[in-house]
Structure 1
């Protein structure tokens, strides 16, 4: 495969969660610029509309998916819905995450626990389960899950963020090990603990989604 062929995504379908802002939005725009039809998912309706407008203004194609992935029924139906609509899924970029507020382990609010664990861990597991068949059967299946590697390190007053991010990381790495002999390439991308997007981060993240990317089970960023 030539470098040019390996950089194009014409005819492919990509799902990007957390696409209402930051790295999720920038990655969705970059994937669309390479020819993918991008399904952009977020709870932020205004952010989704802004991302969609940017993609279309640049000549790309997108489908909006307003979705609260902390709801089990929504996450579980993501893969089947994509199959019904497109018959395929080539790329998954799970950029949606919740950064837990600092606090003592004994003082974690139940609502904060549910929100953080629900998006960082439960939604990740459900998306994996919901989309794996489509990704595994794609000619060049690619999955990238964003993590905050710095948050994995246990620190005082950061128990919730550390526990949820470590679980997310290890879940994805275990999934990658299960696919060592398949065509599906699964990697992690470290956001560096910053919500704001940088061009370099967006380019690096987009590169992990390309057919030419052969890394697997890697932590990049």
Structure 2
């Protein structure tokens, strides 16, 4: 039976690269808001001989995530792997001048949605499945208040889940990706030399043994 991999944030960057890297061994369930980017991902996966199910959904909508996980259960009964790359990168601003709407969206995407997804996906993963999150060192750096605080909270949730499931499963892994020329990073460092960064496909290939190992 083909294994299943849920990729939240699959439309671009590391999420899309990992979806392509996992496609030879997994049926990819690709979640993102951007329909066009998901369709491009699906074309690439099919061209390489893989299969994907597209789920153009907003992870902050609780009912949509319930529907997604119920659909996975109804079709496959379980899930082998969940890779969570979805993130909101709020504009950089001093801590005393964070726009309320930016902070609220950061909390909704980076913390609240992650918390709900852990609750919904965990039963699908059971004792043998795997969940993967990605750390970021910028928490506490100047002007990264909204992103840094909420990303750190997301990773703290993942670390708690990791500690709680050491003996019972699923296996929770938190990885440190290299800097990549993603849209998120471009918002933070608009004048950066992107040629010096690691291509997402190369980084996906480097991380794959840790994700599957």
Give the conservation status (yes or no) of the 8 Å contact 2:18–2:201.
no
Q: Determine the C-alpha separation between the residues in 1 that align with 2:112 and 2:2.
A: 30
Contact 1:150 1:192 in 2 (8 A): no
Q: Which residue pairs with 2:141 in the alignment?
A: 155
State the 1:76 CA deviation: 3.5
Structure-2-length-normalised TM-score:
0.86
Number of equivalences: 197
Q: Helix, strand or coil: the match of 1:65?
A: strand
Q: Distance in 2 between matches of 1:209 and 1:151?
A: 23
Q: CA deviation at 1:105?
A: 1.9
- Structure 2 residue 154 is the aligned partner of structure 1 residue 168: yes
| Cα displacement (A) at 1:195 | 4.6
Provide the residue aligned with 2:180 in structure 1: 194
2:89 is aligned with 1:106:
no
**Distance in 2 (alpha carbons) for counterparts of 1:86 and 1:128:** 18
Structure 2 vs 1, CA of residues 195 and 175 (structure 1 numbering), >3 Å: closer, same or farther? farther
Match of 2:72 in 1: 82
Residue 130 (1) aligns with residue 120 (2): yes
Task: Report the alpha carbon displacement of residue 118 of structure 1 after superposing the two structures with TM.
Answer: 1.3
Counterpart of 2:205 (choices 191, 203, 206) is 203
CA distance in 2, matches of 1:177, 1:76: 25
| Higher mean C-alpha deviation, range 54-63 or range 201-210 | 201-210
Indicate the residue corresponding to 2:15 in structure 1: 24
- SS at the partner of 2:172? strand
Contact 1:78-1:130 within 8 A present in 2 as well: no
CA distance in 2, matches of 1:182, 1:51: 34
| Aligned partners of 2:180 and 2:200 also within 8 Å | no
Q: State whether residues 27 and 51 of structure 2, in contact with CA within 8 Å, keep that contact through their aligned partners in structure 1.
A: yes
**Structure 1 191/97 Cα, relative in aligned 2: closer, same or farther at 3 Å?**
farther
Task: State TM-score, norm by structure 1.
Answer: 0.83
CA RMSD of aligned residues (A): 1.7
Partner of 2:171: 185
Q: 2:31 aligns with which of 41, 65, 69?
A: 41
Unaligned ranges ≥5, structure 1: 1-9, 214-221
What are the ranges of 5 or more consecutive residues in structure 2 without an aligned counterpart? 183-198
Residue 14 of structure 1: aligned partner: 5
Task: Please state whether the residue corresponding to 2:23 is helix, strand or coil.
Answer: helix
Equivalence for 1:143: 131
Q: 1:195 to 1:81 in 2, by over 3 A?
A: farther
Q: What SS does structure 2 have at the residue aligned with 1:166? A: helix
- Show the counterpart of 1:58: 48
